[in-house]
Structure 1
Amino acid sequence: MSGLKIAFDVSQTGRQKAGCGFYAAALIDGLLESAAENEFTLMTSFGDFFHDPFQAMAFPHWKRGVHFGPRKVRRKSASRFWINRDKAGSFLDRFDVVHANNFWCPPWRLRGTLIYTLYDMSFIEHPEWTTESNRKGCLEGVQRAAQFADGFVAISEATKQAFLRHFPSIAPDRVHVIYPASRFGQPGFHPEPEPPDNSIFQAGESFFLSTGTIEPRKNQAFLLDVYQQFRARGGAPIPLVLAGKQGWMMDGFDQQVAASPWADDIHILGYVSDGELAWLYQHCLVNLYPSHYEGFGLPVLEGMHFGTPVMCSNRTSLPEIVGEAGVLLPPDDLTGWVDALESLATEPQRRQQLQRSAVARATRFDWKRSAAQIRSLYEAASS
């Protein structure tokens, strides 16, 4: 078939992107590698919900022959444009496929095919873990998509089933599970590992690692309790390292850390570079991820790619990702987490077994395969 004209939302792929942005960034990398016959327009601004003024002026992949959508540096300008059916509709109707990746959905039916990415349903199922403005924006986008989207991409089976529970009128075969993969496994993505600028890493000490935005859903407050119990029970003075930017609704977390008897061994690094993150995965003793709710759980898979032993929650999508290659526990079982942490800290053979299992399991997730599935979805939906 002849090439398609595709508008692809990259609005969340900026310098401090999180899981949604990594997913969109890796997919467009793969699509530009494997779908040369198609014509891509990258939308660095898309909708009135998420807005990154730096990304709005970015030129990702400009050497790859792509085009770019409207550049809206000011949020007000973006909002006025994208909710205007005459202006935004005229732009979007040029394309055979429009792929929405940041929760926003046009509030009308497009002339071409609209594909909408589903990340998770936590804003519906647990609104207490997010802000009211974020809950409303995500909910509005998904509700519009249920009305106007032609097809859906879910990043896990758990996300697909949660969406169908809340939107039972959607036929299941319209929702396609297309998994993320570790970006560290992408061809050409090999950041040089480097230790963060922190004194605990200079002496080559072992440490426990937890990555991800610090917010209630990620459950770092519980992890702090686990670590304190571990130390109170005589656990070795292994530092706990948290790598991730400060999120919402965690204003008192720094004070909780400061009040800990082991505060000197708890290190909050903030947002780290790709090279620093690779180094952390390669050198940590265990990757700890007690999240209550995940659409996928990319930090777990990224650690597994490096052979990092993983302890994580057994909720939502995480069992899909980890399988038998890690230790899965309820995210509120304090005693179970402390017991398991003591076991892994003192049993190198068990850690080595988990390392081998993690690497083998991680190979099941591949960006080339995911990009090929997206490409097939575009072609089928547009035929």
Structure 2
Amino acid sequence: MAIIAVNTRLLISGRVDGISRFAAETLKRIVKAHPEHTFYFLFDRKFSDEFIFSSNVKPLVIWPQTRHPLLFRFWFEKRIPIVLKKIKADVFVSPDGFLSLASNVKQLAVIHDLNFEHFPQYLPSHIANYYRRYFPLFAHKASKIATVSAFSKQDICERYRIKEDKIDVVYNGVSTIFTPVTPEVKLQIQKQYSQQTPYFIYAGTLHPRKNIVNLIKAFDRVKTKSLLPHKLLLVGSKMWWTDEMQYAYNEMKHKHDVIFTGLVSDSEMANLMASAEAMVYVSFFEGFGIPVIEAQSCDVPVICSDTTSLAEIAGTSAILVNPSNVEEIAQAMIRALEPQKRTELILNGQKNVLNYSWNKTASFLWESIEKTLHV
């Protein structure tokens, strides 16, 4: 029986997305599949019982809350080593990649991507500086590393000079709530969100790295050149909204056709995705790109960037575009609505999503944990 400590500080009720989604979906499967092991979940605040997935999970709250680089260091370098020693942990698993440089316990870091190395300007400087200083150290400290795409593996290897056999690729999965919906549900969603009009959708944080500026420019071009009635739904938080994004929006001729939904629940997100005519995801940089396979699970055509991990994840099942080329994005949005192309994209998307499931993700992550235990 092994004692497995897990950094679960990002498992916060009502805020499960991205890295925390990866943690929740994999951990719930792993702890249930391995009752012979004891899992200590290390939180930095009062936790929700929804994350105590099985009787072999023992939650611990470790003060203080880690929401600033100084507190990152204190939590991981002062508090965590004491806890790992006290519980006699055999391994420390960190789904967000942060490790304890001060502990000698074997450690598995899940480093999802290195966006902060490529686009540090898109993060607050104190956060970007911390990541760029410490993640190379975490990568070398780790007994094993897991990451979510072959692209990210190569990026970590090259930038941090890590040997390839130290890194396992553990692809993300897709939730079973993302499925096609009936025409009646589509009409209901359109009535509620898009003024009873078909729409393109973008799902994710409204962040500069997600290329929102070129997306809304492309949509404006589509509306100007065609007679399409479509709206553009931007589903996500405006936390990273910038002056450049606001300027691009203000300059639109068809800004009244852009709808900001804000954050929505998981079930509502699934219905919004499944009711869209196409999903447009033209990020400059992604370590994986979960919305791509969420859309394809809903039989929704996908337009995405031909850069970083997106070409790897989507393959030939999406229309791939240069994210810096507004005209190319606009043309792809029109092509995705053509009946023959739409059918082709849906069928290829159905085949593509068979490669991804949270069950597979959990299985591969468990293999990485076992390798770490036996390093």
Deviations 1:282-307 (A, max 9, x none): 11000000100001001111111111
Deviation at 1:255, TM superposition (A): 5.6
* Residue 209 (structure 1) aligns with: 201
* Residue 11 (structure 1) aligns with: 9
Deviation at 1:234, TM superposition (A): 2.2
Measured at CA, do residues 271 and 284 of structure 1 come closer, stay the same or move farther in structure 2, by a change above 3 Å? same
Measured at CA, do residues 135 and 330 of structure 1 come closer, stay the same or move farther in structure 2, by a change above 3 Å? same
* Residue 358 (structure 2) aligns with: 367
Measured at CA, do residues 81 and 70 of structure 1 come closer, stay the same or move farther in structure 2, by a change above 3 Å? farther
The answer to whether 1:165 aligns with 2:158 is yes
Q: Which of 209, 222, 232 in structure 2 is aligned with 1:240?
A: 232
Measured at CA, do residues 372 and 185 of structure 1 come closer, stay the same or move farther in structure 2, by a change above 3 Å? farther
Which whole-Å CA distance do the structure 2 matches of 1:314 and 1:342 have between them? 18
Decide whether the 8 Å contact of 2:32 with 2:54 is kept in 1: no
* Residue 181 (structure 2) aligns with: none
Shifted more, 352-361 versus 134-143: the winner is: 134-143
Deviations 1:323-377 (A, max 9, x none): 11110011011121112222223x1221122111111110111221221122222
Shifted more, 58-67 versus 367-376: the winner is: 58-67
Q: How does 1:58-73 map to 2 (within 5 A)?
A: 58-62=48-52, 64-65=54-55, 66-72=57-63
The answer to whether 1:250 aligns with 2:250 is no
Deviation at 1:84, TM superposition (A): 5.0
Decide whether the 8 Å contact of 1:104 with 1:137 is kept in 2: no
Q: Which of 152, 158, 162 in structure 1 is aligned with 2:145?
A: 152
Q: How does 1:1-383 map to 2 (within 5 A)?
A: 3-14=1-12, 15-45=14-44, 53=45, 56-62=46-52, 64-65=54-55, 66-72=57-63, 74-75=65-66, 82-83=75-76, 85=78, 87-93=79-85, 94-111=88-105, 113-168=106-161, 170-184=162-176, 199-201=192-194, 203=196, 205-248=197-240, 250-251=242-243, 253-254=245-246, 256-345=248-337, 347-383=338-374
Which whole-Å CA distance do the structure 2 matches of 1:304 and 1:199 have between them? 23
Measured at CA, do residues 285 and 326 of structure 1 come closer, stay the same or move farther in structure 2, by a change above 3 Å? same
One-letter code aligned to 1:226 = A
Aligned-residue Cα RMSD (Å) equals: 2.4
Deviations 1:225-280 (A, max 9, x none): 00111111124120000001113252453464354221221001111111111111
SS of 2:172 mapped into structure 1:
coil
Measured at CA, do residues 305 and 150 of structure 1 come closer, stay the same or move farther in structure 2, by a change above 3 Å? same
One-letter code aligned to 1:301 = I
Decide whether the 8 Å contact of 1:211 with 1:244 is kept in 2: yes
TM-score by length of 2: 0.89
Which whole-Å CA distance do the structure 1 matches of 2:246 and 2:191 have between them? 18
Unaligned runs of 5+ in 2: 179-184
Decide whether the 8 Å contact of 2:24 with 2:51 is kept in 1: no
Which whole-Å CA distance do the structure 2 matches of 1:79 and 1:165 have between them? 26
Which whole-Å CA distance do the structure 2 matches of 1:140 and 1:272 have between them? 34
Decide whether the 8 Å contact of 1:196 with 1:276 is kept in 2: no
Measured at CA, do residues 114 and 84 of structure 1 come closer, stay the same or move farther in structure 2, by a change above 3 Å? closer
Decide whether the 8 Å contact of 2:149 with 2:170 is kept in 1: yes
Which whole-Å CA distance do the structure 2 matches of 1:250 and 1:140 have between them? 26
Which whole-Å CA distance do the structure 1 matches of 2:28 and 2:244 have between them? 39
Deviations 1:174-204 (A, max 9, x none): 1000001102369xxxxxx89669744463x
Decide whether the 8 Å contact of 1:30 with 1:368 is kept in 2: yes
Decide whether the 8 Å contact of 1:184 with 1:302 is kept in 2: no
Decide whether the 8 Å contact of 2:77 with 2:100 is kept in 1: no
Deviations 1:14-68 (A, max 9, x none): 22233111111111122123222221111222xxxxxxx5xx4333433621111
Unaligned runs of 5+ in 1: 46-52, 187-192
One-letter code aligned to 1:260 = M
Measured at CA, do residues 197 and 208 of structure 1 come closer, stay the same or move farther in structure 2, by a change above 3 Å? closer
Aligned length: 361
TM-score by length of 1: 0.87
Deviation at 1:221, TM superposition (A): 0.9
SS of 1:300 mapped into structure 2:
helix
Deviation at 1:125, TM superposition (A): 1.9
One-letter code aligned to 1:160 = K
Decide whether the 8 Å contact of 1:160 with 1:175 is kept in 2: yes
Which whole-Å CA distance do the structure 2 matches of 1:329 and 1:213 have between them? 20
